[in-house]
Structure 1
Amino acid sequence: MDDLSHKLAANRSMPASTVIPVLAYEDVRRAVEWLCTVFGFRERLRIGNHRSQLLVGEGAVVISERGAGQNFNGSSHSLLVRVEDVDSHYERARAHSARIVQPPTGYPYGERQYTVEDLGGHSWTFSQTLADIEPEEWGGSLV
């Protein structure tokens, strides 16, 4: 398993946090405004009207539109965990008969990710940075 004490590769399209909650809302813009106003979060990256990254101290949270192609399995949340080697992480999960929702897949924002459902039905996406990609290259915009 990955030793998460190592420094993960940087990617301008991803928050630096290791564990990132992903929360689904009906209205992303309204949720972002509320979370920033009420909790003092700061918007870091906006992805159209369907997704946004918020910073809070050394942590981050992703706000996503409910039903925007997310693997929430009927829930309003999932977790994103950054790892050094997503393929070996995937092989370990598969070897232990984890329920794989999405096998490792590369994305234009410089990440390779897979999604698994845990024994409680929670959705976890594990992500490896492959490249440091400027968000504007794939349709995001730093705020």
Structure 2
Amino acid sequence: MSGTSITPSACYRDPAAAAAWLCAAFGFEIVVQIDAPDGAPANCHYEIGRDQARIAIGGRWADWTAVPDGTVTGWLSVHLPDELGADGLDAHCAHARAAGAVIDAEPADEFFGARRYRAVDPGGHRWSFQVQVREVSRAEAEEHLGIEIARWE
């Protein structure tokens, strides 16, 4: 591998089932599969991906990998190819819903030019999927937010 990359990770009670579900519901594919020889979820590792993006899926191998009070402080944000367009994102959402995802925000056009929806998987992880449907200038974004944007790249 050359250059820097970041691979977010999510822990599940049954990572093999989670990886399979995520692929079926959200259109990922398994790119790394290490099944635990002893069958213990904590000893396996999967990476699922789409295009150049990857997410590691594992078992709960330490106390800190499970949020004790059920509060999730983050989510996984996936930028799908813009070529899908608004209709493609809506179809992605419908497919995820049919596979059992809980849709907690229906597809909607956002001020920053994306169309986005949010879903919750059976393990309680939150996902955001979006495509860019129009370009937004820095000036437009600042006007909408009512503040100056310190950095815009």
TM-score by length of 1: 0.47
Larger Rg: 2
Higher relative contact order (CA 8 A, sep 6+): 1
TM-score by length of 2: 0.44
More strand by share: 1
More helix by share: 2
